[in-house]
Amino acid sequence: MIQAMFHYEFLRNAFFAGILIGIVAPLLGVFIVVRRLSLIADALSHVTLAGIAASLLLQKKVGTFVSVSPLYMGMTFSVVGSLLVEKLRTVYKHYQELAIPIILSGGIGLSVIFISLADGFNTDLFSYLFGSVSAVSRQDVWIILAITAVVIVTISLLYKELFLLSFDEEYAVASGIRAKLIHFVFIILVALVIAASMRIVGILLVSSLMTLPVAASIRIAKGFKQAIGYSILFGELSVIAGLLLSYQLDLAPGGTIVMLAVLILLMTMIWKKWKRG
C-alpha cells in the first residue's frame, strides 16, 4: 500500500484521514467512557445515517443536490441529534440515560424512512455504512483536518473543566465551571468527529473506534493522561494496520480496523492478567 499511495490519490486521502481519525476519536472517547456515555456514539451515528440517507434521497429526487456532499447533511443531523441529547438529559434529570435510546430510536426510524423513499440501498450508502477507502476524497480530508484541529485546540483549552466534569460534576459546578456550556461544546465535538469518521470506519462501526481503544488503555494506564496517550496509540495502530491489511487482503476497512482494536483489547486484558499472576 505504501508504494501504491504514491500513485493513487484516494489511498493517500484514506491514509491521512485515518491518521487524523485515529487521534480525535479515542481522544474524545476517553471523556465519553469516563462520563459513562459510551452509547452516545451509537445514537449519534444512527442520526448521522439518517442525514446521509436524506442527502442521498435529495440527490436522487432533486438534481441541484447532486454536487453537495452527503457529509454536510450527516454532520448537520449529528449536531442536531447531539443537542437533542443534551436537552433530553435536562428533561429527564433523574433518568438521563433515557436520552440516548430515544435519539438512537429516532435516528433509526428516520433512516429507514429515507432509505425506503429512496427505493432501498445503493453503493454510496453502503460505503457510508461500512467504510470505504476509495470513497475518501480530498475535500473529506480537509474537513477531517479542520475538525481535528478544532477538537485538539478545544480539548487543550478546556481540559481542566472537562476533567472535573467527567469525574465530579457537582464539585465542578460548585467551583464555578459553566457545566451546560462545556457539555454543549463537548457534545458538538463528538457529533462532528462521528460524522467525519464514517468515511473510514463506517457509520455502524464508528462507535467502536471511540470506545475499544479506551477500553484497552484503561486496563494498563496508571492515570488519566496516560489513558489518553494509550488510547490514541491503540487507535492509531488499529487504523493504520487496518487500512494496510484491508488493502492487501481486499477486506472492508471498517471491519478490519474494529477487529484489530478488539485484538488489542484482548492482548491488554491477557497482559494485565499475566502481570497480576
Give 160-176 pLDDT, tens digit per residue.
Answer: 888 888 887 777 778 88
Whether 97 shows a pLDDT value over 90: the answer reads no
Number of H helices, E strands in the chain: 13, 0
Average pLDDT over residues 205-211: 83
Domain boundary assignment for the chain: 2-276
- pLDDT exceeds cutoff 90 at 262: yes
**In degrees, to the nearest 5, what angle opens at C-alpha 86 toward C-alphas 81 and 88?**
90
How sure is the predictor about 104, in pLDDT bands with cuts at 50, 70 and 90? confident
Name which residue leads in pLDDT, 18 or 277.
Answer: 18
pLDDT at position 212, please? 92
Q: Which whole number is the average pLDDT over 181-202?
A: 83
Q: What's the confidence (pLDDT) of residue 120?
A: 63
Give the separation between CA 102 and CA 139, rounded to whole angstroms: 33
State residue 2's pLDDT score: 55
Cβ atoms 240, 187 nearer than 8 A: no
Question: What is the reported pLDDT for 154?
Answer: 93
Distance CA 139, CA 69 (A): 9
Structural Rg of the chain based on CA atoms? 19
- Quick one: three-class SS letters along 200-239? CCCCCCHHHHHHHHHHHHHHHCCCHHHHHHHHHHHHHHHH
pLDDT band, residue 65 (cuts 50/70/90): low
Mean pLDDT, the chain, whole residue set? 82
Grid coordinates representing 231?
488510547
CA distances from 215 to 26, 28, 60, 255, 268 (A): 10, 13, 41, 18, 9
Quote the crossing angle between the two packed helices 138-157 and 9-34, to the nearest 10°: 30
pLDDT at 96 over 90: no
Looking at the structure, give the CATH architecture of the domain made up of residues 2-276: Orthogonal Bundle (1.10)
- Residue 277 to residue 269: CA distance in whole angstroms: 12
Closest to 24 (Cα-Cα) out of 187, 151, 140: 151
